Amino acid sequence: MKLLRVCMKHRSVGFVDIPEKYRLLGGRALTSSIICDEVDPKCHPLGPNNKLVFAPGLVTGTVAPSSGRLSVGGKSPLTGTIKESNAGGIPAQMLARLGIKAIIVEDQPDDDEMYILKIDASGAELLPAGDLAGKGMYEFNSLVRDRYGKGTGIIAIGPAGEMKLLNAGISCNDMENGPGRYAGRGGLGAVMGSKGLKAIIVIEDEKRRVPIANKELFDKGRKKLTDALTSHDVTSNALTNYGTAVLINIMNEAGGLPTRNFSAGRFEGAAKISGEAINETTGKRGGVGKTGHPCHPGCVIRCSNVWAKPDGSYHVAPIEYESDWALGANCGIDDLDVIAELNYICNDTGLDTIEAGCTLAVAMEAGLAEFGDGQKAIELLREVGKGTPLGRILGNGTEFTAKAFGVTRCPTVKGQSMPAYEPRAVKGIGVTYATTTMGADHTAGYTIAPEILKVGGDVDPATTEKAELARAFQATTVFIDTAGYCLFIAFAILDIPEGFEGMVETVNGVLGTNWTTDDVTRLGLEWLKREREFNEAAGFTKADDRLPEFMRYEELPPHNTVWDVPDEILDAVHDYEVEDKAERAG
């Protein structure tokens, strides 16, 4: 395996050997380590000194199930912190099989040209983007397929990234060449745009394999993990049939579905936008719509879907829970076809759906549209791709828009908008939002599993003592993100110990290591610590590990609770010294 270094200033590319210190790293631990080693934490995220790193996970490209993830890392222009954003789709597996452990994109061109990095078995080259520059993602992907062939892997930015807007994500194409698998969060698309890189195109013109140090152990682990995924109710049934949007009804029942810009925990239109409704409508409409869709080859969970228009033709893929909620309940919109159109605009323009939905909700609060007015929401979101002044405000995300219009109910942490779980109703996820290295992010430590779903434990969402829970989830998550597994394997392996072992064995099989399940937390914490240090050097302190003030004084119906987790609990999450002392004393 090699590292591919790409210098955008000199337009040079070069393959280098993997330094020993990176040999056992992949995915998130690798992108974050490279950023920590090579990027000045104080640099401007859109300036020449930031870098953008792409890394498939450790087992990505092998036949391990649901493992085709790509980590993208850099200093985030949205949050100012270190960032790892992670996506499925087809390119990660192809990169891994071509022997690329990471791509490091450095510096910026002196001109305003956009470029394309083309990678195949014979090497890599930078080409002028030419007429492909400025294109929306749907047209871009189909032009690339016409020119480079079916099955080409595409990692690219839409107009939002080219305009360096803070809510620009990075798209990976799915198996049907749709652009809907996004490394969306944190504005890394703007970093890519600032480097003049429109896309990375991956052509697997020669079948190669990811090297596996201990095939027998790998196979044993793979089987254990696959058995866990195919036997656990959630990963073999619920996610496959209803997709992630099955959460709409449950978060609504739990009173934790943020509604109309985080002003209520229940949405009267929830049933109409639920996973059940997606499943039912998809069945009725027929055509190209489907549920149980895999975002890359080898996913056994298949949580993805394709949403069809009323006439059965393609509209968008996927409509997943976070997007459905952000563009739906959070904007007071209860029409799946409107949500699908908003999702399509996000995918085409190159925007993160969570941030876009929270931005629209803030805009609605500011009076730019009524809550629930889908047509007006569509018009507003279309402004972003046009690059109008209003479009640029909205394209810069929730906090920027809240400032522009004087809205104080701004649901962000470190500048990044919250996802689809109300922290006043579910305290542990609020602890995660406040304390992750990433800004408000549910995937960084998904305590919803035990707090709401009775998966991986059974914890009361209303209690505030959640420091250990949040720490444990954050640490395990870093390991899963590093291995290259989809986070959704967690639902099965948190409940089935053999599945957890199997996951670790696949990693050991690839690397030749002897890590145990205990090492998962240890390594996860070590890697997290590195990310924390970057943030500290960038100027972040405990005072940034807090939720927005309005949540402390505005009661959220139906539970009518405020955010009341004491700061000491938040500070204990990453107080490793306290941990060390307790360990020595104990």
Partner 1 sequence: MKIELHLYATLRQYEPEGHQGVLEIEDGTTVEDLLVTMGVPLEQAKLVYVNGRRVNLDYTFKDGDRVGIFPPVAGG
* 425 touches, from partner 1, ligand SF4, none (C-beta below 5 to 8 Å by class): partner 1
Q: Of 57 and 255, which CB lies nearer to ligand SF4 in the complex structure?
A: 57
Q: Of 93 and 349, which CB lies nearer to ligand SF4 in the complex structure?
A: 93
Q: Which residues does 583 contact at the CB level (< 8 Å), separation at least 6?
A: none
Q: Residue 324 has which token pair? A: 């459905």
Candidates 77-85, 301-309, 446-454, 490-498 — which segment interacts with ligand SF4 by CB under 6 A? Answer: 301-309
Considering only residues 407 to 436 of the shown chain, the ones binding ligand SF4 according to CB under 6 A are none
* 304 touches, from ligand SF4, partner 1, none (C-beta below 5 to 8 Å by class): ligand SF4
Q: Of 376 and 559, which CB lies nearer to partner 1 in the complex structure?
A: 559
Q: What is the smallest separation between the CB atom of 220 and partner 1, expressed in angstroms?
A: 26
Amino acid present at 417: S
Q: What is the smallest separation between the CB atom of 227 and partner 1, expressed in angstroms?
A: 17
Q: What is the smallest separation between the CB atom of 362 and partner 1, expressed in angstroms?
A: 24
Distances (CA, A) of 331 to 61, 205, 247: 39, 45, 17
Residue 439, phi then psi, degrees to nearest 5: 85, 180
Number of residues that bind ligand SF4 (CB under 6 A): 11
Within 10 Å of residue 297's Cβ, how many Cβ atoms?
10
* 294 touches, from ligand SF4, partner 1, none (C-beta below 5 to 8 Å by class): ligand SF4
Pick from 301, 345, 381, 565: which binds ligand SF4 (CB under 6 A)?
301
Q: What is the smallest separation between the CB atom of 172 and ligand SF4, expressed in angstroms?
A: 10
Distances (CA, A) of 407 to 124, 224, 365, 396, 410: 47, 50, 7, 15, 7
Q: Which residues does 192 contact at the CB level (< 8 Å), separation at least 6?
A: 52, 105, 157, 161, 168, 170
Give 148: exposed, middle or buried? Use CB within 10 Å, 0-12, 13-18, 19+.
middle
Pick from 88, 180, 332, 385: which binds ligand SF4 (CB under 6 A)?
88
* 359 touches, from ligand SF4, partner 1, none (C-beta below 5 to 8 Å by class): none
Contact, 396 vs 409, CB < 8 A? Answer: no
Chain-centroid distance, C-alpha 188: 11
Contact, 68 vs 303, CB < 8 A? Answer: no
Q: Does 446 bind ligand SF4 (CB under 6 A)?
A: no
* 88 touches, from ligand SF4, partner 1, none (C-beta below 5 to 8 Å by class): ligand SF4
User: Between helices 398-405 and 353-365, what is the axis angle to 10°?
Assistant: 10
Q: How far apart are CA 215 and CA 64, in angstroms?
A: 12
Considering only residues 268 to 297 of the shown chain, the ones binding ligand SF4 according to CB under 6 A are 294-295
Considering only residues 46 to 85 of the shown chain, the ones binding ligand SF4 according to CB under 6 A are 66
Sketch the per residue contact string, 487 through 526, with ligand SF4: x for CB under 6 A, - otherwise: -x--------------------------------------
Q: Give me the residues that bind partner 1 (CB under 8 A), please.
A: 232-234, 237-239, 241-247, 249-250, 252-255, 265, 274-276, 303, 320-322, 425, 442-443, 446, 448-449, 452-455, 460, 462, 487-488, 491, 558-559
Q: Does 304 bind ligand SF4 (CB under 6 A)?
A: yes
Name residue, tokens 């505030």: 464
Q: What is the smallest separation between the CB atom of 562 and partner 1, expressed in angstroms?
A: 16
Residue among 247, 555, 238 nearest 425 (CA): 555
Q: What is the smallest separation between the CB atom of 229 and partner 1, expressed in angstroms?
A: 12
Amino acid present at 241: N
Q: Does 303 bind ligand SF4 (CB under 6 A)?
A: yes
Q: Does 486 bind ligand SF4 (CB under 6 A)?
A: yes
Give 19: exposed, middle or buried? Use CB within 10 Å, 0-12, 13-18, 19+.
exposed
Residue among 491, 317, 487 nearest 419 (CA): 487
User: Where is 198: in which H helix or E strand?
Assistant: strand 197-202
Chain residues binding ligand SF4 by CB under 6 A are 66, 88, 294-295, 299, 301-304, 486, 488
